[in-house]
Amino acid sequence: ETGVTQSPTHLIKTRGQQVTLRCSSQSGHNTVSWYQQALGQGPQFIFQYYREEENGRGNFPPRFSGLQFPNYSSELNVNALELDDSALYLCASSPPMGMNTEAFFGQGTRLTVV
Amino acid sequence: DQQVKQNSPSLSVQEGRISILNCDYTNSMFDYFLWYKKYPAEGPTFLISISSIKDKNEDGRFTVFLNKSAKHLSLHIVPSQPGDSAVYFCAASGGADGLTFGKGTHLIIQP
């Protein structure tokens, strides 16, 4: 059973650019969530995907968007990057919706915006 | 508006003793609570959880207590071991809005 994997592990982008981060969910998990963790803070919920549709969104602007594919893998896209977008981006997968259960996290992608 | 609060940024405990990490929440809609452990350069690792219908859940050295009336939960680690040194996050869930995390407590186990 493979865990949650994210790519790339590190990334440096320039302000105003666009970035795509990728995540492969754990086997058997059809729900994927993305979180942003700024330095010294806890992870903050960006959005969640279930069956290829966004199902739940945190307090993030529309320039944060995502996709989920038929194999349940997911992408996080951020347009018009700002310096404050520098953070660790975490992907988490969990079993089917409707169950209170733990989310399993990947190792994260460290994004630096300069 | 911080809905999950971990008021101790750090905690130092001697090896072999009990570590107690605390967490408070404000949202009455939260019905599931989790503790995660995080090492540097790794993603959070699930430790233990508790549903709002329970007041205690135990798994080996880890026990989580939930006091719904006080909107407070705590994680007890007994006995504490050097490998327990990490940042611990309390998280809460109340629907489809993902997990709400606290800012974390850095636990340091001293030999």
Using a CB–CB cutoff of 8 Å, tell me whether A109 touches chain B: no
Pick the residue from chain A with its C-alpha nearest to B96. Answer: A56
Interface test with A, best of B39, B101, B106 (most A CBs within 10 A): B101
Please list every residue in chain B whose beta carbon sits closer than 8 Å to the beta carbon of residue A55.
96
**What is the pLDDT at residue B21?**
98
Check CB contact under 8 Å for A45 and B44: no
Strands A10-13 and A109-113: parallel
**What is the pLDDT at residue B96?**
65
B51, B97, B104: residue with CB nearest A100:
B51
DSSP codes joined into one string, A25-91: PPTT--EEEEEEE-TTS--EEEEEEETTEEEEE-S--TTEEEEE-TTS-EEEEE-S--GGG-EEEEE
Over residues A52-76, mean pLDDT: 94
Using a CB–CB cutoff of 8 Å, tell me whether B13 touches chain A: no
Per-residue pLDDT reduced to its tens digit, B47-92 = 999 999 999 999 999 999 999 999 999 999 999 999 999 999 999 9
- Is the pLDDT score of A99 beyond 60? no
Pick the residue from chain B with its C-alpha nearest to A34. Answer: B98
Amino acid symbol at A65: S
Q: 3-state SS of chain B: helix, strand, coil percent to 5?
A: 5, 55, 40
**What is the pLDDT at residue A2?**
67
Q: How confident is the model at residue B94 (pLDDT cuts 50, 70, 90)?
A: confident
Distances in whole angstroms, Cα of residue B85 to Cα of each of A50, A80, B20, B72, B107 = 35, 38, 13, 23, 5
Pick the residue from chain B with its C-alpha nearest to A36. Answer: B101
- Is the pLDDT score of B97 beyond 90? no
Percent over 90 (pLDDT), chain B: 91
Q: Which of A29, A4, A6, A37 is nearest to A101 (CA)?
A: A29
Using a CB–CB cutoff of 8 Å, tell me whether B53 touches chain A: no
Please list every residue in chain B whose beta carbon sits closer than 8 Å to the beta carbon of residue A23.
none
